[in-house]
Amino acid sequence: MSIEVSNSLIVGQTNTPLDARCRIDTLDDVSAIPNPFIGQVFYCIATAKLYVVKTLKNKTIGVFDVPNAQVNSYELITTPGGVGTVITKFRLARPYFDASVHLVVQSSTMNDFSTTVTLIDTENVAADRAKVLAFTGTEFVVCPNDGLGGIFSGQTVLVDLSEVTTETLIRYKWTSATGESDWYSTFFPSSGEAYVANMAAATGGGSAEQVYGANIVISPIAPVDAPDGVIYIYSTNEAVYNIDALDVVTEQPVSPADGTVWITED
């Protein structure tokens, strides 16, 4: 039922909101907001931030199950001064691994990450893969079950972190069949990393040099007599190298049957 007034309403005491639902002490009080509505904006004193109600759920009141009577989800309003675009995506760049890679993202309120919450684990949680979009060069696709293969190298990755409603420290790492990267850190919400993660695995080894082409992997161990500026390559298919932007040196230190060649950068 609507009530029409001919002029403004004024509260009779100071520091008292006209609508009691628009201010709460802590985020633990969200579930107690009476008669909430989708699109409702409320202020939390403990965090000094504004939030907007996104969805509602049923609430048991006495013996009755009342529909849409409790806040189900809400989001932090990140635009200064009021309601606006809410940042829900975390932007990364996929590192230059040949092997399929998966992503682990954790949040923490501790500077030393002594306690963490795992937000994304694409290798072990199917639902998390649905939250990760990767660019193929022409379109964004959902993270495949077997991870982000070589086609995604260096491409943009968008991670849905809409469940994070307050500013938090973030760390993330990439994992593959041969090992995993170091932890990289930032905070959320932010624009994400400013570089492509090193392709050298922290555990599992591998050269950190970038190469171009197909059907090739980097040998974990370079020959001790390798000349300066020469990269040691092992080909998974000795008959097909397809190494663009690189010159293959004709001298071969071992039998061609072993699939090894010397190459130098152009």
Give the pLDDT confidence of 122-174 residue by residue, as tens digits.
Answer: 999 999 999 999 998 889 999 999 898 888 888 889 998 888 877 788 899 98
The rounded mean pLDDT for the chain is 74
Give me the domains of the chain, ranges plus CATH numbers: 20-76 (no CATH), 89-188 (2.60.40), 216-265 (no CATH)
Half-sphere exposure of 25 (CA within 13 A, CB side): 3
232 within 8 A of 226, measured Cβ to Cβ: yes
Q: Is 50's pLDDT higher than 80? A: yes
* pLDDT confidence of residue 251: 38
Strands 246-249 and 260-265: antiparallel
Cross-strand pairs, 140: 135
256 within 8 A of 238, measured Cβ to Cβ: yes
Give the pLDDT confidence of 76-112 residue by residue, as tens digits.
Answer: 887 554 545 567 888 888 887 666 689 999 999 899 9
E-only strand ranges, 64-188: 64-76, 89-93, 101-108, 117-121, 132-135, 140-142, 156-160, 168-176, 179-180, 184-188
Q: Is 34's pLDDT higher than 70? A: yes
Structure tokens at 232: 């040691």
Cross-strand pairs, 49: 44
Mean pLDDT, range 170-197, rounded to an integer: 76
